Amino acid sequence: MYASQAAEADSTLDIRPVAPWRVAKADAGVDFRLSVSFMDGLSGIIDLRDWLHSRRIDGTLFEPLRDEAFFRQVRVDLGAVTWPNGADLSPDAMYDAIRRDGCWAPN
């Protein structure tokens, strides 16, 4: 029996490598903040308020996030925080900051 056949035969075998910094859940809060949880259970706040109101995002994929209704369409796709227009946030940078400080705010 080949290894792949053995794994298929043993349905209790469930080996999936998971990066702890992958986002498991993201919820939009008030004032352009997100509550996020990661695969390893770490959770914290993403504060996008100042960044979204800065001129640095003018003309980028992130500009539509200034509309609160659009901002609330946040979802998790393949372990990253994303929006319908393709804007996404780097989960590993968020994870490191939240592990260290409990929150992350891009600059």
Alpha helices (runs of H) in the chain, residue ranges in sequence order = 3-9, 49-52, 68-71, 91-101
Q: List pLDDT tens digits, range 43-85.
A: 999 999 999 999 999 999 999 999 999 999 999 999 999 999 9
Q: How far is CA 40 from CA 21, 23, 74, 105, in A?
A: 8, 9, 21, 21
Question: What pLDDT shows up at residue 20?
Answer: 85
Q: Which two tokens stand for residue 70?
A: 């659009």
Radius of gyration of the chain (CA): 17
Tokens 């600059």 belong to 107
19-104: CATH topology: NE0471 N-terminal domain-like (3.30.2020)
Domain ranges of the chain: 19-104
Q: Which two tokens stand for residue 96?
A: 């490191």
Q: How far is CA 88 from CA 3, 7, 20, 43, 91, in A?
A: 37, 35, 18, 18, 9
Average pLDDT over residues 6-23: 63
Q: Is the pTM of this model over 0.85?
A: no
